[in-house]
Chain A
Amino acid sequence: MKIHEYQAKQLLQDYGIPVPRGEVAATPEEAHGIAPRLAGRVVVKAQIHAGGRGKGGGIKTALSPDEAFTAARSILGMQLVTHQTGPEGKKVRKVLVEEASAVRKELYLSLVVDRSRGKECVVFMASEAGGMDIEQVAEEAPEKIVRCAVHPAVGFSPFQARKLSASLGLDAGQGRQFAEICRNLYRLFLEKDCSLLEINPLAVTAQGQLLALDTKLNFDDDGLYRHPEIRELRDADQEEPLEIAARSTSVNYIKLDGNVGCMVNGAGLAMTTMDLIKMAGGEPANFLDVGGSASPEQIEKAFRILTSDPDVRCILINIFGGVLRCDRVSAGLIQAAANIQMKLPMVVRLQGTNVEEGRRMLQESGLRFTVADGLYEAAQKAVSLIG
């Protein structure tokens, strides 16, 4: 799960990590009111779940409350397009108004989970090349990224802070502040089940202090059950509406750009079905996993989500019945097709538990659909129906 910068900064502050003073505004008037409470020049930053906001015109500086008003007015409501939003962009509903800082140096600091075999742990990554995209640094100058793995039983040790701080060229005073920041970040990462905690840039100010100028915080979805306070930070406006609808039915759905809608049980088979659609010359409209033990009701809900995507021109159902029985899938499909008056062409491939019963039910239902036996055959038929 992703959260906004202003929410992430609040969490950093709760954990004693220095961030610029600032407040969030939903209207230009609010931004105008916040500016005088801060000292001097302010920055007005669009709050969306994507990076690259500056280049897209989502970050502006202002010297007076009036300028803050103007900046907020131009940013709020805009459809901000960055390299991470896709061409349609994301609508800005809030801005963060915060004190501008005089920066001497920009650093990069992050925590992630290393999943590689035998080394599973939390890893710090630091770089002197702060402010820019870290993937770019990794590609162009990987030697500028310093890694520091934290042993899960030992925790973050002071020597590791010294090692990182030396690689960043910090002086003794900054080193002490840096060690404190690292210790607190590690605590935040563990206590809130983070999956990514990134401060970029971590600024060395003109006064020689460390300050988290921008931050990105992602959470492990599987850890959310024990963090109600984090779940509350979710901003549904930043997500695909169909994906939100899917989540409430425990159907796993991701919208894609194609026009062959597919419904599959199991994530691996769902990805494979997408691959096969592509191989047959088509483009998948989505990833959709109905799960292992879906009821007819759940199948119907999944079907509704699938068909509410206006780009979908043909539907491919691919079910390998194990725990999920084919007759239950058929019952759900028949129920759904009747309730929503489906007009799209449909290819159905059922295999596995109770497959004969499932096929018979579909045949007797009067529904119009094409049957397929093989995996690839199903994809080919679906693509040919689009023409």
Chain B
Amino acid sequence: MAILLDWKSRIVIQGITGSEGSFHTRESVKLGTKVVAGVTPGKGGKDLDGIPVYDRVIDAVERQGANVSGIYTPAAFAPDAIFEAIEAGIGLIVCLTEGLPVLEMIKVKQALKGSGSRLIGPNCPGITTPGVGKVGFMPNFIHREGNVGVVSRSGTLTYEMIWQLTGLGIGQSTSVGIGGDPIVGSGFIDILELFQKDPQTEAIVMIGEIGGTAEEEAAEFIRGKVTKPVVSFIAGQTAPPGRRMGHAGAIISGGKGTAEEKFKALELAGVTVEKNPAEIGRRVQEILKAKKQEGS
């Protein structure tokens, strides 16, 4: 089954004619992804390797049955692209674009409320379901079909973790990069909930970063709602305080935000915490082995 992306997914790429959009569309097609349309305002009627390009998202929905969107539009136009996808009734919107102003994301979150759309990103590497395809940047060669769900706030660090799993012969159900911005469409909790419900997923790898309280909130959620084993790493144990976190932001989160506190919260929630990222794959391997022995 996997999550988010499956055999029913029909993808439209917003910003398909740009250099990033076209490059990654071609890469995703190589992986077998069903890209059914592209959208670039003013380029309607053209095509990319036979993929029809439209002016509007609604055209891609009505003519090609698109139900998933990947957005590569430049930051200044990305919020508009998201609003257009929501309006067109796209169920899953993946925004890869980096650099959306935080205040725009507050508006986006309002637009998502009550809509039937789910947003992943912005500023994220996207989603890959091995055997089905991908929306986003994740390199094709790192994946392998299997039963571990991966969710992460990072990009290359996520590839590193997936590659570690694959190297040990451990496949993934779906890998999701939720993005590193202060405000994102879907958080850890949203994805953990999907992995918990997904029959294919047997264990979950969660990669966090310093700042904010998303990991603490996720820990709370895991304690109550996640029965599958979770292995976690937090990047930024040595990051200096105050460089990336606004100083008044520390008040809102009640002084939370360091890697140390996140590790502690996750540990208390029963998560297998691993401070050495080179060991994540092996932790997962041990857990899966123990699970198998329990089952037999």
Contacts and interface: CB of A to CB of B under 8 A. Distances in A.
Contacts of B240: 254, 256
B149 to A, nearest CB: 18
B139 interface: yes
A86 B278 CA distance: 33
A295 to B, nearest CB: 13
Contacts of A321: 139
A117 B214 contact: yes
Given A113-B182, A320-B160, A122 B247 contact: no
B106 interface: yes
A374 interface: yes
Interface in B100-155: 100-103, 105-107, 109-110, 137-139, 141-142, 152-155
A152 B212 CA distance: 20
Q: Chain A CB within 10 Å — which of B235, B248, B252 has the most?
A: B248
A135 interface: yes
* Dominant SS among interface residues on chain A: mixed
Interface string B144-187: 00000000111111111001000000000000000010110001
Interface in B252-295: 252-255, 259, 275-279
B251 A125 contact: yes
A271 B254 CA distance: 23
Interface in A89-132: 110, 112-117, 120-123, 125
B156 A269 contact: yes
Interface in A25-75: none
B217 A138 contact: no
A268 B212 contact: no
A268 B158 contact: yes
Q: Chain B CB within 10 Å — which of A153, A268, A277, A322 has the most?
A: A268
B238 A275 contact: yes
Q: Chain A CB within 10 Å — which of B107, B210, B250, B252 has the most?
A: B252
A220 B103 CA distance: 9
A275 B153 contact: no
B238 A274 contact: yes
A195 B246 contact: yes
A198 interface: yes
Contacts of B101: 193, 220, 222-223, 226
Nearest to B160: A320
A351 B160 CA distance: 9
B277 A195 contact: no
A353 B159 CA distance: 11
B209 interface: yes
Interface string A261-289: 00011111101101111110000100100
A376 B247 contact: no
Contact of A266 (B110, B157, B259): B157
Given A113-B102, A268-B153, A268-B207, A153 B255 contact: no
Contacts of A264: 156
Contact of B156 (A139, A145, A153, A322): A322
A375 interface: yes
Contact of A112 (B180, B237, B246): B246
Interface string A343-387: 000000001110000000000000000000011110000000000
Contacts of A84: 242
Given A190-B103, A271-B235, A320-B160, A115 B183 contact: yes
Interface of A: 84, 110, 112-117, 120-123, 125, 134-135, 138-139, 145, 152-153, 190, 193, 195-196, 198, 218, 220, 222-223, 225-226, 254, 256, 264-269, 271-272, 274-279, 284, 287, 292-293, 320-323, 351-353, 374-377
15 contacts: A115-B252, A117-B189, A117-B214, A122-B103, A135-B251, A222-B102, A225-B99, A268-B157, A268-B209, A269-B155, A275-B259, A276-B277, A320-B163, A321-B139, A352-B159
